[in-house]
Chains A and B, each alone.
Chain A
């Protein structure tokens, strides 16, 4: 009895939050945690580490001397850095910087446990990320941004909740490009081979797709769009008329095969774009490629007008 009393006194001294809700099944390996909401969350996190079948970790290779990821989410995650160390972070709706410095620059396998808690992933540190995009379904992403010399591969399937996707580098993403209805920004650089009919959601403001893509469809931009850049072996063709956003900044279209755009369509497009005031730096209008006709005198005045709006115009 005396031993029990000493144990209880020591326990309350060390863990004043209380001893309730402690899951007995984890007592063999878990630290002796108390029952505050934060620690219950911690216990749930450790439990998730055990249940890696229903909550598989996110695995990637990173080649860098240091890594900094900006993350948002709804709970605890653990990043195992591949050099024997790890970091635990409680993610919330406020971006949290999760970083690590290695003793040297080298390729290492990095694992994020409890990745289903991540909704926002951003890295602009230039570390070379390498992973199969399919693994991102282990997160609950609405926002993904990763710059640097990345080598993402696999089929690019965007979650329906995603609003922002930006990935630069030597990516080799493939598949049919379907943009979720709430997406505002899509930028994918590298040697991608995306296919499909290009349908831009009404809320979209920014679209850039480079590589050997074979996107098809007619050219129609949402009223909100100010930046459009489509390159590759796309066969976008045909244009009637539309009103462009008054803050138009960039329209860059290279089309080298397919029916493309006639001179009349190119003239109409340039004239419609001149009806926008344009805004921002580096204002550029490019309509080139063997499947796009040169403009005629019909759009000469519009081109001159665009120049007065500080727009650089490039045509065949």
Chain B
């Protein structure tokens, strides 16, 4: 379990599918992989490089 509250972009994924994306400033608890980025662009690059799949239309 991970619980953060930082000024970073947070990507939550289960190894392949993206569970959700959290903007800076919010508290997140999740049983899944949680990776932080300083900018949205860094996060988007990571998603492309690792071929992660959007599991939800709302992400």
Contact = CB atoms under 8 A, between A and B. Distances in A.
Interface of A: 168, 187, 189, 208, 210, 229, 250, 252, 281-284, 286, 288, 294, 303-304, 307-308, 310-316
Contact of B58 (A210, A303, A308): A210
Contacts of B30: 307, 312-313
Contacts of A288: 26
Contact of B27 (A229, A283, A307, A316): A316
Contacts of A282: 17-20, 55-56
Contact of B31 (A168, A310, A316): A310
A308 B32 CA distance: 11
B58 A208 contact: yes
Contact of B55 (A208, A252, A281, A311): A281
Interface residues on B, range: 10 to 19
Nearest to B32: A312
Interface of B: 1, 12, 14, 17-20, 22, 26-32, 55-58
B55 A307 contact: no
Contacts of B56: 250, 282, 284
A208 B18 CA distance: 18
Contacts of B28: 312-314
Q: 4 tightest CB-CB pairs across the interface, nearest first? A: A312-B30, A282-B55, A313-B29, A282-B19
A203 to B, nearest CB: 22
A250 B28 CA distance: 15
Given A250-B56, A281-B14, A304-B29, 18 more contacts: A189-B57, A229-B58, A282-B18, A284-B19, A284-B56, A307-B29, A307-B31, A310-B31, A311-B31, A312-B20, A312-B28, A312-B31, A313-B28, A313-B29, A314-B20, A315-B26, A316-B26, A316-B27
Contacts of B27: 294, 314-316
26 contacts: A168-B57, A189-B57, A208-B58, A282-B17, A282-B18, A282-B19, A282-B56, A284-B20, A294-B27, A303-B29, A307-B1, A307-B29, A310-B31, A310-B32, A311-B31, A312-B12, A312-B28, A312-B30, A312-B31, A313-B28, A313-B29, A314-B20, A314-B22, A315-B26, A316-B26, A316-B27
